[in-house]
């Protein structure tokens, strides 16, 4: 969603709440939802380092004081946004698997997951200078939770697809993680490279080596 559209819509719906000194729990949740939407859009368009708290405040039509009443830091907002986006994407992955509980359904779900990653670079491009600037400020606990959440959804997807592994769970998770991370190489390849079909080819040929 375009940032300016978000701002216009939220300004109309939340202006009264943002001008009050005291916020209800509902006001806070709506403002935090607005900030997460803006954060996601900013993260895709310009990255973590190039986004400031003042820009969040301007887009959400709130004061700096209101921002700090909701989040202790810019990093806290980015972390909450990342967790929310990961959760939405992973839950969609699970729902796709449930629709067709089989190898075929699992492959289609992986392909859909690839499309989500393609539209949200911060979900996979974790080795960039920009992402590391954010990631290195997280606690060990936060880093571990991000990793565990993804692996938990992967286990759920296998169970819902009624599949059994030929290899270890660690190897299987690593293979699919590597496959999904290849989307970061897309822009470095020549225009003649059929990246999407190549990705599908790899998934279809690997699936029988991973599952019984």
In the chain, domain spans = 3-71, 76-210
8 A C-beta contact, residue 81 and residue 39: yes
Topology (CATH) of 76-210: Tetracycline Repressor; domain 2 (1.10.357)
8 A C-beta contact, residue 207 and residue 103: yes
Taking the C-alpha atoms of residue 49 and residue 71, their distance in angstroms, rounded to an integer, is 17
Alpha-carbon distances, residue 83 vs 79, 116, 143, 153, 173 (angstroms):
6, 15, 11, 13, 19
Residue found by looking up tokens 């969040």 in the block: 56
Q: What pLDDT tens digit does each residue of the chain (212 aa) get? A: 333 333 333 434 443 334 445 778 898 999 999 999 999 999 988 899 999 999 999 999 999 999 999 999 999 999 999 999 989 999 999 999 999 999 999 999 999 988 888 888 777 666 788 889 998 999 999 988 887 777 888 999 999 999 999 999 999 999 988 888 887 777 666 667 787 788 889 999 999 999 99
- Provide the pLDDT for residue 79: 94
Alpha-carbon distances, residue 85 vs 76, 82, 163 (angstroms):
14, 5, 26
- Provide the pLDDT for residue 58: 95
Phi/psi at 167 (5° precision): -115, -175
Phi/psi at 183 (5° precision): -60, -25
Element (H, E) at 118: helix 103-119
- Provide the pLDDT for residue 17: 39
- Provide the pLDDT for residue 149: 78
8 A C-beta contact, residue 196 and residue 117: no
């Amino acid at each position: 969603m375009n940032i300016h559209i978000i701002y216009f819509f939220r300004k109309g719906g939340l202006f009264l709440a943002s001008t009050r000194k005291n916020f209800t729990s509902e006001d806070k949740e709506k403002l935090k939802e607005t900030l997460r939407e803006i954060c996601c859009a900013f993260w895709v368009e310009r990255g973590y380092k190039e986004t400031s708290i003042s820009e969040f405040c301007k887009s959400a039509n709130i004061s700096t004081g209101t921002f700090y009443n909701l989040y202790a830091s810019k990093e806290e907002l980015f972390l909450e946004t990342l967790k929310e986006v990961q959760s939405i994407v992973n839950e969609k992955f699970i729902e796709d698997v449930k629709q067709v509980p089989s190898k075929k359904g699992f492959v289609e779900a992986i392909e859909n997951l690839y499309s989500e990653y393609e539209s949200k670079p911060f979900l996979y491009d974790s080795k960039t200078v920009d992402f590391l600037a954010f990631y290195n400020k997280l606690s060990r606990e936060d880093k571990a939770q991000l990793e565990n959440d993804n692996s938990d959804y992967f286990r759920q997807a296998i169970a819902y697809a009624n599949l059994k592994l030929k290899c270890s769970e660690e190897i299987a998770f690593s293979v699919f993680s590597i496959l999904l991370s290849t989307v970061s190489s897309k822009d470095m390849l020549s225009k003649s490279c059929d990246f999407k079909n190549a990705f599908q080819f790899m998934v279809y040929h690997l699936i029988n080596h991973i599952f019984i």
